[in-house]
Amino acid sequence: MAGSVPPMVHLCERPVSAMSASAQIEIGPVTLRPLVRERVWGSQTLPAWLPAPEKDKPIGEAWLTAGECLIDTATSHGATFTELISRSPAQFSTSSSAPDFPLLIKLLFPHEKLSVQVHPDDALAHTLGQPRGKTECWYVLSADPGASVMVGFAEQMSPAQVREAIAAGKLEQKLRSIPVKAGDMVYIPAGTVHAIGPGMMLLEVQQTSDITYRLFDYGRPRELHIEAGLAATKTSTEAGVVAPVQMAGFTRLIASPYFVIDRFAAATESTPLGKPGELQILIALDEGCFLECSKGTALPLLPGRAVILPSEPVVYNLRSAFGSNIIRIAEK
């Protein structure tokens, strides 16, 4: 990180042991340690703020808000995110029917094409005994020239035609290819057949679900899920690139039925974060970002790490010495 970083101050926080005594005790910002996941389509080259992959073990994903993520905030260091949520569910917008964090945020590093796949919606997921489906979006952090994603069908297709394309190994050719560049936001509602190409880095925000049905996998020796995938497939959805909207003090990247994502360009003077009392997740995209608390504390926001702001009546501001970008994610 350029320049010196002031010491981290934690006056807004309480130890995990104290949290169990009362759901009303203030927790304050929670920094999570990413979990890296090996994937056959992943990369051997990762950003400097992630550990280098082992030889022949490409990393495809870094999970930023998984329940297994360890807490890196000093006063709660070493506990898992799930342990923290179980002690204070009200502050993390969980319910008794789905007692986990509602949004899973990832970084994706595709060096090769991902499978052509689809995810179920809420209604179908419920019939499978799952708490939710999987609507997601991709914010493009970087992209090589010619990078693209495939989202939905290029022309109207019937379920029978989709099945025929899968059997003939031509499903990919039936999809709509979209060139992408840094700063693009791509929306993927559940039921959309989609695939990600190589040569980019994505910030993925999704409903917390790990249900993926692979329909085509380029000959890799992995299981396909044709019948389940066809049951989940919608031949027409609202998937595609979403235009940003300039708001007062930030840029709205997307507002879906499940999440709202904004981009802040923090400056040397404090920038109000807003939404006091609401659950928020912050992801710094650059170095030199700080979160200022109404109680006079300052927390460095490290690139690629999720900082969870529980549902507490605390006012926060953003500050940066370099005009850095910060992503704010909230439940809809």
| pLDDT band of 19, cuts 50, 70, 90 | very low
List 39, 87, 132, 214, catalytic entry: 214
3-state SS class at 74: helix
Q: Which of 326, 286, 293, 327 is nearest to 310 (CA)?
A: 293
Q: How many Å apart are CA 87 and CA 104, to the nearest integer?
A: 19
For 119-146, what is each residue's pLDDT tens digit?
Answer: 999 999 999 999 999 999 999 999 999 9
In Å, how far from its chain's centre is CA 5? 26
Summarised one tens digit per residue, pLDDT across range 280-322 is 999 999 999 999 987 778 899 999 999 999 999 999 999 987 7
Asked whether residue 177 carries a pLDDT value surpassing 70, the answer given is yes
| Res 24: pLDDT | 58
Type of residue at 250:
F
Check if 214 is active-site: yes
pLDDT band for position 95 (50/70/90)? low
- Give yes or no for a contact between 76 and 30, defined as CB atoms under 8 angstroms apart: yes
Residue 99 one-letter amino acid = P
Domains of the chain: 34-68+103-242 (2.60.120.10), 245-331 (2.60.120.10)
In 10 A of CB 249, how many CB atoms?
A: 13
pTM of the model: 0.90
**pLDDT at residue 267 in the model:** 77
